[in-house]
Structure 1
Amino acid sequence: MTTDLQGLVLKGVTKVYRQELGHGSYGSIYAVKYCGTICAAKEIILVEGLGEVEIQQTVESFIMECYQCSTLRHPNVIQFLGIYYPSATAGSVQERMRLPVMVMEMMADSLTSLVDKHEKIPLHMKYSIVHDVSLGLCYLHNHDPPIVHRDLSPSNILLTAHHVAKISDIGLAKVLMADYRMIMADTTEIVDLKSPESLGDDPIYGPPTDVFSFGGILLYTFNQLWPRPIRQVHFDPILKKKVTLSEVERRQQHLDKMIEDGEMLISLVEECLDDDPAVRPPIVAVCEKIEVSKDAVYMKESIQDTITLHQQSKQMRSEIGRLKSENYHLRLSSTRSVPLLNGVTELSEETLGDTDTSKLRIEAPPLIPALITGRYYIKWTQLADLPAPMYRAFATVQNKKVYIAGGTSPVDYAMHRVFVYDINTDRWDQLPPSGYHHGIPHIIGCKLALIGGCLSTAMQRTNKVSTFDETNQTWTSYYPDLLSARSTPGVVTHLENVIVAGGRAGDDTAVAQDDIEVFNWIENSHWRKVSINLPVPMWSFTPIIADDYLVIVGYSAGSAMKRYTGSYKIPVTNITNEPQKNSSKSNKKKTKWTTITSAPHWSTALVSNSFPLMAVGGQNYNGTPTSDIKMYDECDKSWRTMASLSSARTDVAVAAVSDNAIIAIGGFTKAGSVANALSSSLTTVELGQVQLLH
């Protein structure tokens, strides 16, 4: 027996003399040191007076566990390191049998202990733990040959210091036969977590047995209460007789409590606890459902954290403004001097005389003096060309990938495609056709969406919000449709809200819209119209969020193709927090928009996440394309040239790919007719990085 384990024997293992860590399926667990690392050791405890047959069976089962664990390698299954032979008292059973001790990685806690110690475990941690356990079970059930744990309970789900969950105590796990079924003697599994088929006189064990136990663990983890079922036989006062309850009915009170934290998993728990093992889902399907719910919870918590930080940032800015004001008044009262715009650099109490101080304007420093004074410049680097020339397109960025769509191109297929650029590999690819063109690419809840557009075979506008499924490489309807069909609207996201404004309406017309729709993607409800309309009808423009304002710089495209050069802003909360109102009142709401100043150019592109505002390219008012990159100076209320594109162009797509870099894609170089735009449209793609002048 000893020679069978020689390949697993560890040298230099010493016992750490401290209290016992716990008990496993065979005996006590204590700490040992191996190669300078503290590990957990599990030994066999044999009671004096046992018969040789019982001892032999126990030791053989223990050795089988050692062999079985030595083949398992998964981050969510406890790691077996080997065995060692401790010294034993002379004449004892341990010495006579020379019993091995199993050495495993040391864990910090168990799920049972975690629940006992914490009144309220964070929701994301609960999802992480049950997802880890489901991954571990997936590995065991899909092992070659498959392994059924049979003793899954909160006490043998162990946790690392960073709360990574691992399945332990494989002592009762059994390898399945070829028919994926096994009939064995009863185990020590906790009765409350046992499946119906494992409670009979001839218990049957298989993967559904573990799935049933896992359903109980889901209840325990999310409710932080032991999922003890009520009695199986229940007296029905209506029927006035005893009835047999299903396993789900026996735990209904625990399922009802899951609404507090695990509402998305209630139906999954019900499936896991089904009386019929054939109906229970395989652990792979269970794992997938948990992962989807976990991602949704993580995203919701992330957005909530963002909202909290956003609110804290606003409070901090307000406090900084207050302190600056107090500091200014303190300095003014002590020095009696103030810088002025009329050339006077100092004004003392003696020189004030009869001057009306209410007309004196304090000069504020530029918002970004380094950029406006020209100490920075943008260095342009040529990237891989766009697969087809395109202008008046829109770009969005996620995970070092730039998606572009919605533009016009002399190459017909380019209008119906979404192109994706990988920043790491400097390579362009094409996504499968969505069936629409002139839709706006946008990231909604980590998913790429195409908002609005036209049918590829006609100019009929659509209200579809198509979402790209990376796994199946298809476009699906994950999010609800817009209320109104439109193409090339303005789209922007603020926290959990997506705002869609304006766009072209009608069939084969250039009629522009001025209405606004809002969608809360976390609640995944429906789009709603707000009573506030755009200042003028607009299409093909880029709204952005800057300092809690929704800002638009664009042009109108009504039947006369008029262009407007106005720039406008409105508190974004006026849009996102406004309840739905009667559309007849919408005209009264236009006054809430504030005119900033004239736009620097026609057909210019705003850089998202840029504050102060940064506009790239466009046409001068005489129709000539420009290479100017202009920054809005909040102090002077004017646009200042801060840098240039590598060449003059208009209707260029831009996106911020980092804090100090933008990407410029396509555009066209000849103003005037549509023919000029098509013939001079570009495939040029450049990366602009802001650099310091030395």
Structure 2
Amino acid sequence: MADADIVQRLVLKEVTVAKCKEHGGEGAYGRVYAVSYCETIWAAKEIHSILFEHRSETEKGKFVEALLRECHQCSKLRHPNIIQFLGVYYPEVDGTKGVQLPVMVMEMMADSLSSFVEKYQNIPAHIKFSIIHDVSLGLCYLHNHNPPIVHCNLHPNNVLLTEHHRAKISDLGMAKVINTDSRKAGTKDSRVDFMPPESLNELSNYSTPMDVFIFAGIVLHTFNQQWPTPLDKMQTDNGSVTLSEVERRQQYLDKLSGEGEVLRPLVEECLDDDPAKRPTIATVCRRIQSSKDTCSTQSTMNMITLHQKVEQLSSEMKQQQNKILQLQTTIKEMEKHTKSMPTQSQASKQDIGITESPESKLTPVAPPLTTALASGRYQMKWTRLADLPVPMYDAYVVVQDKKVYVTGISPNDEALHQVYVYNINTDHWDQLPVSGHYFGIPQIIGGRLAIIGGRLSATKERTNKVLTYDVASQTWISYYPDMLSVRSKPGVVTHGEHVIVAGGTRGDDIALVQDDIEILNWPENTGWRRVSTTLPVPMYDISCTISDSHLVIMSYYSIDLKNYTVVYTIPVSEIVSPTRNRLLSWIVPNKWSQLTTANRWAVALVPNSSPLMVLGGTDRTSTVQTTDISIFDNTSKSWKKIESSLTSARSTAAVAAVNNNAIIVIGGCTSRVSTASAKSSSMTIVELGQAELLQ
């Protein structure tokens, strides 16, 4: 075909530079930008005019003719894994001194392979297999073309990806021209990391085994998500030793683990020093397809097995619930027999380890606290303990080894930074050394007292620190790792070997309320991980508990300056199971259930209660504090007030379980129209409550 005919067939009319930011940048041989042609956005690549320096007009003309022939060759290639070449156009502005350079117009792509693997961590294996399979199919098309086409210039920057991660080979038109010029100029860049040993020979001929060798480097780059820079030589006591190509890349081959490990034998064959021993690209395609199918089948089987396990656990949970119902029936029968028996008249301190007089008598075995109160035949018996050292509200409390640890807000500003400890046996308050945190949440982790998050006393900034009290040195230490996010007033609960932290604030603005959840496996102590499940809404001032294998989240949450108490539940397995988070989100979606709220806010949630129980709070309509105690009725799905009540009206009190049928309630306030009134009405009352059978 004549040169004039070639030009005529390739030139595009009415191409305009697109006013968008979809694509742009500076490549090794020219600028890439977006253009519009026929109402479609395309990628345009112009050649640096610097490549024409020190050339005569005749040489420039020949270069353009050769470039157009190469473009014509590219325009005839049709394959889903080869970049679609559309044509060329001539911009209005020309800086080449008499020779107008054509701009190449081609398919617009979303990203390059090198940028993609650098940008995203832990790319799923099936996407990696799909990418390298696409590249092998594209090479197979080129190598089996008539005549065969050797790319010569293949590397991760020339493998482009669509938005759906389909890979396409690019830079075909300029490869031979640009590479020839580069070798003569002696240029060298990072692409030599992918080149085979025969390419170092100045008189080497490009052949298909070259592309096969380079493809092996692309596999390593894709699966390891690292640029596979090979070793030059191995240093020994006797000097340096020349290595084979496989040995030069041994460290990257060793990193082919998991699903990618099946590709290691193929990659080693493709890296053979002898080009004749490397497999053809057609063989490579078939073996990758086989590995891809195996990976897909194995992943599907794993998903099926995992789903079956979820169904099995669900069945076992239902069986456990049936057993609980049977036990509750048995308890009711026991209550009938014990109805006429005398009850314990002494204070309930004996049940939590406080020694009373020798005349104390044992009480017949009673059901758990909330179960007993829900039956309607028990009432709450309250015993006044030693008062708090300072008035306190918005407090947090945990109990361990008959010691009660309390921290919270007080009219005494210094008390913000204090942790007080009450010894039940000695009936005495003490004070721990200052932790350097306030608004942190106390929790028992692995038998150790810890303060999680809050604000730093020195700067008032939110923190991600987890401080642990060391009894031996009587100081606070960083025994557990820091959380991933800073947070103040989050919800904290332990479940077996896990610590769950949810929500909280990371700043003073209401918009900075967190909705994420972190979890720590404290025996492993390897660090926190953020789970895929998030809170239904951002929350702070959170109370958490585990009830009937569900995580319960209750929060005072401000919306448009209105006060609410929201309560949500979710199976705790959805939070603590990393396998569920990674693989089953599309099979069994994360489902939070919202419980109806009691007609008051700033209530205290009783931990480890089943059914759920809340104490006190402020009536929404009258804004008056209440003594009410309510239990959530699973049948009617509503909160029901029980006969028993607190001894004094209060909101924002702290509550902790002392044992299976006794709770301790600490502080609170009798008025909370403002922070000032809350402080002035904060309480020192500490009371122990236990269910007692009615006469």
Shorter chain as normaliser: what TM range?
0.3 to 0.5
The higher relative CO (CA closer than 8 Å, separation ≥ 6) is in 2
TM-score normalised by length of structure 1: 0.46
- TM-score, normalised to structure 2's length? 0.46
Structure with greater Cα Rg: 2
